[in-house]
Amino acid sequence: MRRRRWIAFAVIVLLMELAALTAVIIFKQHADAKVTRKNASVIEGSVIDVSEAVDGGKDKEERKQAKEATQAEQDSSSEEQPAADTGQPLDSVSSEAAQAEQDSSDTGRAGVSEIQNELQNLINTEYQAGGKVAVCTGRADESDMAMVNSGPMQAASLIKLYVAGCVYENYEAVSAQESYSGETESLLSVMITVSDNTACNTLVSRLGSGDAQTGMAKVNQYCASHGFSDTHMGRLMLQPNDADDNYTSVYDCCNYLKMANAGQLEGASRVLGYMQQQQRRGKIPAGIPSGVTVGNKTGELADVENDAAIVYGGDTFVLCVMSEDLSDNYSAQRFIARISGAVYDFMEQ
């Protein structure tokens, strides 16, 4: 009996020891697992953080070095770039044209050289009327103008702009020869608005007190005194041109309109007002959006298509296109409209 009790006690003790041992093992395994997870977490976090720090620092340093290298290269290029060879000292290279170009750039407006390049490109790629074409344009408030092929060309009825200017400078003497009150103004109106040739010849004759040659000489004197050096009146309208002819240039026409717009010519407001009443609108006005005020004066011969205009857009500008020795007048007319549209787009930038 005593032996059975001892055996039972021994079994109980053994079971308790086994339970305790099991508990110790389980606890140890749990603790080891926890430590392992913690270490793994620390190691993984350290690797990621260090990697980002190293790579980020490396990228930042590389970017810094690249920026410094680029800046150094630009500085070197600026120092080594020679100034344009203008025959002037480096400190006097700037000019009025360069300043105007800079002013246009500062205001976001297209510059003279940019417009001139576009005009040349249009002539090279789109002009198909034969003969010669010339273009000049510029903003009314700027002295510089973009020009292609400027020089004396057949004026046709563009000469009437200068006749009008000369009449207004000699208005009292001309109006003293009127056959009715207000005739001079009426003649000026139809000479510009419908390009009446008889009206022009009458005014020229009255400039010379009845002598047309003297009248033409006065027109030429008027042109010379105002700097229109490419302009010359050598015959009356509809008269033969075998001995002499009427000439002007796109530059002179644009300069005339700019001076008129600035009020620097006698009768300027009258001339510009008549131009806005112009009946022949198939050239420069045809390329300008409707609603924009345009004053123009045309000129046509069998092989000549001319037009000079002032356009009162966002930027008031002047434009003259002249063409001569044409093989296709209609094509020349369409090209003038094309030029005016392109110039308008540039001026409105």
Average pLDDT for residues 270-291, to the nearest whole number? Answer: 97
Average pLDDT for residues 202-216, to the nearest whole number? Answer: 98
pLDDT, residue 123, reads 97
The whole-angstrom separation of Cα 78 and Cα 68 is: 15
Domain segments of the chain as ranges: 110-347
Residue pair 254/319 in contact by the 8 Å Cβ criterion: yes
Dihedral over Cα of 284, 285, 286, 291: its sign:
positive
Burial 263-302 (b: 16+ CB within 10 A, else e): eebbbbebbbebbeebebeebbbbbbeeeeebbbbbbbbe
pLDDT, residue 349, reads 77
**172 pLDDT tier (thresholds 50, 70, 90):** very high
Which CATH superfamily includes the segment(s) 110-347?
A: DD-peptidase/beta-lactamase superfamily (3.40.710.10)
Cα radius of gyration rounded to whole Å, the chain: 44
**Is residue 222 predicted with pLDDT exceeding 60?**
yes
- Give 290 or 98, the one with higher predicted confidence: 290
Tens-digit pLDDT profile for residues 11-49: 665 667 666 665 555 555 544 544 344 343 333 333 333
pLDDT, residue 228, reads 98
Tens-digit pLDDT profile for residues 111-141: 899 999 999 999 999 999 999 999 999 999 9
What is the overall mean pLDDT for the chain?
81
* One-letter amino acid of 189: S
**Full-model pTM:** 0.71
Tokens of residue 78, six digits: 């600026």
Note the residue count of the chain. Answer: 349
- Strand, coil or helix: 252: helix
**Is residue 335 predicted with pLDDT exceeding 70?**
yes
